[in-house]
A and B are shown apart, each in its own frame.
With several copies, the nearest count.
Chain A
Amino acid sequence: MSTLTETAPAAEVAGTEVELTYRDAINAALDDALAEDATVLLMGEDVSSDGGVFKTNAGLVEKYGRERILNTPICENGFIGVALGMSVTGLRPIVEIMFSDFLPTAGDAIVNELPKFRFMSGGQTSVPVTVRSIAGATGRFGTQHSATGESWYMALPGLRVAVAGSPGAAYSLLRTAIRSNDPVLFFEHKGLYGRKGVVRRGELAELGKAQVVREGADVTIVATLLMVERSLAAAKALADDGIEAEVIDLRWLNPLDMPTVKASVQKTGRLVVAEEQPHPAGWGATVISRLAMDNVSFRAAPAAVSLPDHLPISYSPPLEDAILPSPERIADAARGAVSAR
C-alpha cells in the first residue's frame, strides 16, 4: 500500500449546476470529497469492485487507488470499528453498509462506540466517520433486505442522521456528512438511484435544516427518502382537488428541524407524516409528539398519518407494494386531515 501523501491534490469543485441521477450525485459527492481531502477514504464490502454493488462508486478506484477505496471482508462490526480507529488518528473514513438491515450486525459500533466515543473521552477527540447505508423497500428484496430503520438511530445523542430524498439532497448532505467532525449515519434509498435532479456541485447542506420542497397552505406533509417524491406526487393529485399541500423533506433526523415543521403546521393546521417504517418509535411519532408538547394546534385525525401496518416487509410484490405508503394513501390521508371537523 502506498501512503496518502502520494494522492492527487484537491480537485476543482466548481459551483456548476448539473442534472444527475441520485446514484451519480452520490458518486460526485464521494469523488469531490476524495479529491478535496487526502484523508478521506471509502471502505466496505465490494466498494472497489465493479463500481460497488449499487454502482455508486464507479470510477473511484481507478482514480484514488485500492487503498483509499478499500474492499473489506464481510464483518460490519469489525470494519466500522476500524473506521473509528482511523477517524481518531487523522483520517476521515466513509463506510458503506450495503443494506441498512446490516446496520444491526454492527450494532455495537453504531450504538455504543461511534456516538459515545467523543463524549466518554471528555471531548478529547472527534469522530469524523460517515456511515453510508442503503435503505428501503421497493426492490423485492424481502424481509431482511428492505428496512429503512432510519429512526432507530435518532435516539442516540452523538450520532447525526441524514436522509437523502433527492439527487440534490444526496450530494449536499453527503458532502456535509463527510466534512462533519461528528459521526454521521447517511441513508440512501435504493429505490431512488435512477432518479434525476439538479445538483449544485460543491454545495454543502446546512446541518439540521429541513427543506420545504413544495409550498402550500392547506396541509403539511413531512417526508423522508422515497416518501419525498411520493408526497410530491400526492401533492399534485391534491392540487387537482384544490388542496395545496406543503411538502417538507426532513433531511436530518438528528438534529430534527422542528422550527421548519412547526412553522408549516402553524400555517396549515394539518399534518401528514409519510414514512416508510412502522409508526412506533419513529420520527413521525417524534414530530407529532413535539408539536403536541409545543401546544401547536393541528388536526391529527388517524387518517392524517399515513403509516405502514406494523408488519415486516414481504417479498411478494403485491404485498410489498401494499405495505408502503403510496401517493394515493398519502393524498387520502391529507384529504382526511383537511375534511376532519
Chain B
Amino acid sequence: MKDGQGEGATDRRVGWLRKMIEIRLFEEKVQELFMKGLIQGTTHLAQGQEGVSVGAIAAMREDDVLTMTYRGHGQALARGMDSEAAFAELMGRASGCCGGVGGSMHFTDFSKGLIGAFAIVGAGLPVAVGAAMSARMQGKDSVALTFFGDGSTNIGTFHESLNMASIWKAPVIFIIENNLYGEYTPLRETTPHEDLAIRAQPFQMPGIVVDGQDVGVVHDTVAEAIERARRGDGPSLLEMKTYRFRGHSRSDPAKYRPEGELDRWKARDPITILGARLAEESVLSEDDQKAAWDDIQSQIDAAADRAAEAPFPTLEETHRYVYAD
C-alpha cells in the first residue's frame, strides 16, 4: 500500500480513481450539454489525460497554487472545484466559478489555489513563476505548478519562464502534458525531438519524462519535484506522456491521427490502469468500481441539472469585474 496513508486509512488511490472517473464523466456530460446547446462556443476536453491532473494535484499542499490552460477542466476538478460551479460556468450562469463570464477556457478559483487559466498559449507559465517568487518573498514555503501542452514549449514565454525560474531558483514545477499534438499538428512537425524533457537542459534544472497514464508515477514524480522546490533547490520540468482521446476542440474530428494510435492509447487509459491495479490488489473490487461509476454519474447529472437552473448574469453585474477600485 505504498501510496496509502498508513494502517487503517483508506487507500489514497481510491480517491484518485474516483476523481479520474469524475473528470471523465464530467467531460462526457459537457459533450452532451454541448449537443443540446446548453454549452456553447468551444471546449477542450482532456479525456485520457486525467492521470496527469489527478496525480500531480494530489501531490500539492493546500496552500500551493497552480496555473493551467484552456484545457483545464481536469485540473480544476482535481483541485476540488465544485462540479456544479464548473457546469454553471460552462453554461454561462452567474453561479459559475467565474460568474459565467469566463467559460470553459478560464476556470479559476482562488479559494482552491486555481489562480489562472489562460487561453493564450504560454501565458500561464510566467504567472506561475511570479506566484512562486511571491510565496518565497513573503516567507512562505508554498510552491506553484503550471500545466501546459507540448505545443506550448515552442513559444517564447516557455523559454523566458524557465530561464527566470532557473536563475531565481523559483519554487515552480513546469508540467508538460505531452499529448502528441498541438491542435491538428503532430509534435514531430514543430519540434526537433520527441522527448520535451530535454528542453530543461540549458536551464540547469531536472527534466524528467514521466508516464502520464500511471497516476501513481505522476504523483510520486511531482511530489519529489515539489519537495525539491520547497526546500529551495529550484524548479523542475516534468514531461507527462499522455494522450487526448478526443479532438483538439469541439469542432475537431481528429482525422489527422494515424490509424491505430487512438486504440493503442485507449489501452493505456489511466482509469483502467489504476482500476485494474486496485482490483488486483483487492483494494477495490470490480463491483465496487462499477458502483463508483454509477454513484459519480448521478452526482454529475444532478450537478448539471442544478447548474442549468441558475440565472444568467446581467451586463450591469459584470461591470464590477472590470476594475477593483
Residues on A close to B: CB < 8 A?
Answer: 1, 3-5, 39, 41, 45-46, 49-50, 53, 67, 71-91, 93, 101-102, 105, 108-109, 112-113, 117-128, 139-145, 157-158, 160, 180-182, 207, 309-312, 314-319, 322-323
* Nearest CB of chain B from residue A281's CB, rounded to whole Å: 17
B126-A121 in contact (CB<8A): no
* Nearest CB of chain A from residue B251's CB, rounded to whole Å: 8
Within 8 A of A (CB), among B97-116: 97-106, 108-110, 115-116
A316-B100 in contact (CB<8A): yes
Q: Is B258 an interface residue (CB 8 A)?
A: no
Q: Is B259 an interface residue (CB 8 A)?
A: no
A142-B123 in contact (CB<8A): no
A143-B106 in contact (CB<8A): yes
B59-98: CB near A (< 8 Å → 1, else 0) gives 0000001010000000000000000000000001100111
Which of B184-192, B236-244, B272-280, B292-300 participates in binding chain A? B184-192
B156-A89 in contact (CB<8A): no
Which residue on A lies nearest to B117, using beta carbons? A120
Residues on B close to A: CB < 8 A?
Answer: 40-42, 65, 67, 92-93, 96-106, 108-110, 115-116, 118-123, 125-139, 144, 151-152, 154-157, 160-161, 163-164, 167-168, 182-185, 189-191, 252, 255-256, 312-315, 318-325
12 further contact pairs, Cβ within 8 A, besides A45-B182, A122-B101, A144-B106: A71-B185, A74-B154, A78-B129, A82-B129, A87-B130, A112-B120, A113-B118, A119-B318, A120-B106, A122-B99, A182-B325, A315-B92
* Nearest CB of chain B from residue A115's CB, rounded to whole Å: 8
- Cβ 8 A contact of B101, one of A1, A158, A180, A314: A314
A residues near B133, Cβ cutoff 8 Å: 82, 85-86
B151-A74 in contact (CB<8A): yes
Which residue on A lies nearest to B323, using beta carbons? A182
A181-B324 in contact (CB<8A): yes
A86-B134 in contact (CB<8A): yes
Which residue on B lies nearest to A123, using beta carbons? B321
B160-A75 in contact (CB<8A): yes
* Nearest CB of chain B from residue A219's CB, rounded to whole Å: 26
- 23 residue pairs of the A-B complex, CB under 8 angstroms, read A3-B136, A39-B138, A45-B183, A49-B185, A50-B184, A50-B252, A71-B189, A74-B121, A75-B154, A77-B160, A78-B126, A85-B128, A86-B137, A112-B123, A113-B118, A119-B101, A119-B318, A122-B97, A122-B108, A124-B98, A314-B101, A314-B318, A318-B312
A82-B120 in contact (CB<8A): no
B164-A85 in contact (CB<8A): no
Distance of A80 Cα from B139 Cα, bound (Å): 22
Number of A-B contacts (CB under 8 A): 274
Which residue on A lies nearest to B321, using beta carbons? A123
A312-B127 in contact (CB<8A): no
* Nearest CB of chain A from residue B315's CB, rounded to whole Å: 5
* Nearest CB of chain A from residue B130's CB, rounded to whole Å: 2
- Cβ 8 A contact of A73, one of B115, B151, B320: B151
Known: A73-B160, A73-B163. A89 touches B131 (CB 8 A): yes
B residues near A1, Cβ cutoff 8 Å: 136-137, 168
A81-B41 in contact (CB<8A): no
Distance of A93 Cα from B131 Cα, bound (Å): 12
B102-A143 in contact (CB<8A): yes
A residues near B125, Cβ cutoff 8 Å: 81
A residues near B154, Cβ cutoff 8 Å: 73-75
Which residue on B lies nearest to A5, using beta carbons? B139
A residues near B121, Cβ cutoff 8 Å: 74
Known: A84-B130, A85-B130, A180-B325. A315 touches B41 (CB 8 A): yes
Which residue on B lies nearest to A119, using beta carbons? B321
Known: A75-B163, A124-B98, A312-B322. A81 touches B127 (CB 8 A): yes
Distance of A218 Cα from B187 Cα, bound (Å): 58
B41-A139 in contact (CB<8A): yes
B151-A142 in contact (CB<8A): no
Known: A180-B325, A318-B312. A88 touches B116 (CB 8 A): yes
Distance of A76 Cα from B151 Cα, bound (Å): 13
Known: A120-B102, A142-B106, A314-B101. A108 touches B139 (CB 8 A): no
B108-A144 in contact (CB<8A): no
B residues near A160, Cβ cutoff 8 Å: 323
Which residue on B lies nearest to A75, using beta carbons? B160
Distance of A3 Cα from B268 Cα, bound (Å): 43
Distance of A88 Cα from B129 Cα, bound (Å): 12
- Counting chain B CB atoms within 10 Å of each CB, the highest count among A67, A143, A319 belongs to A319
B residues near A120, Cβ cutoff 8 Å: 98, 101-102, 106, 108
A residues near B160, Cβ cutoff 8 Å: 73, 75, 77-79
B137-A4 in contact (CB<8A): yes
A residues near B314, Cβ cutoff 8 Å: 319
Distance of A1 Cα from B138 Cα, bound (Å): 11
Distance of A310 Cα from B322 Cα, bound (Å): 9
B185-A123 in contact (CB<8A): no
Which residue on A lies nearest to B191, using beta carbons? A73
Distance of A233 Cα from B118 Cα, bound (Å): 36
